[in-house]
Amino acid sequence: MSSSAALIEPIVAWRLWHVRRHDDLYRLESFTWHHVSWPARRRFEAECSTHGAAAPVEGHECGIYAFKTRELAEDLLRRYTGVRQHYGRPYQELPPLRQGCPIAIGRVSLWGRILARENGFRAQYAYPYDLFLIGGEDGLARELRRLYAVDVWPS
C-alpha cells in the first residue's frame, strides 16, 4: 500500500549503535552489520547488495532499521547483552557494558521512502536525533556530540 502524498516531517524512531573507533575518531556503527559506520553531518543512505540505492524494497529485508518505541530498542539491547535490569528513566539506570565496547541507544530521524511495519521501519535515509551512551565516559560523549552535532548523554 502506498501513500498518496508525501509527508514533510521525518519519522523519529529508536535504534541502537555500536560506538567504535575508526582511525582517529569514534563513529556510530550499525548494530547488526559490522564495520558499517554512520557518517557525521550527512545523511546515512540505505544500500542493498541486490537493489543498490533503491533500498528499501518491498519483499526484501534491506534498508535502515529502527523501532517504533524505546522499549523495543531496549529489548534488543537486553537480548544482546543479557542484561536483565529495566531500562527506565533516568537513563543512568542502565548498567555499564563491557569496558571499551560502548553502545548508543537513541532516536533517529528517518525520511525518504519508508516501509513501516507493526514494530518499526525500514528507511531510505537516516540521521541520529539524540543519543544515550552506554558504557562510555563523558569524553566520548563530548566527542560524539561534536562529531555528529546532536545531543549525547553519557551513562
Decide: is 41 part of the binding site for other proteins (CB under 8 A).
yes
Residue 56: CB minimum distance to other proteins, A: 9
* Alpha carbon distances (Å) from 58 to 25, 28, 97, 104, 114: 35, 27, 36, 29, 10
Q: What is the DSSP string of 120-152?
A: EEEEEEEEEEEEEEES--HHHHHHHHHHH-SEE
State the virtual CA torsion across 68, 91, 96, 119 in degrees, nearest 10. -10
Pairing of strands 44-45, 64-67: unpaired
SS3 19: strand
Q: According to the binding rule CB under 8 A, does residue 116 interact with other proteins?
A: yes
| Interacting span for other proteins (CB under 8 A) from 47-55, 95-103, 112-120, 131-139 | 112-120
Name which position in 121, 132, 135, 136 contacts other proteins (CB under 8 A): 121
Q: Is 97 in the site for other proteins (CB under 8 A)?
A: no
Q: Which stretch binds other proteins (CB under 8 A): 18-26, 93-101, 105-113, 132-140?
A: 105-113
Give yes or no for a cis peptide into 39 (omega within 30° of 0): no
Kindly state the smallest distance separating residue 147's Cβ from other proteins, in Å.
9
Residues that bind other proteins (CB under 8 A): 1-3, 5-11, 15, 31-32, 41-43, 58-59, 65-68, 76, 109-122, 125, 127, 129, 146, 148-150
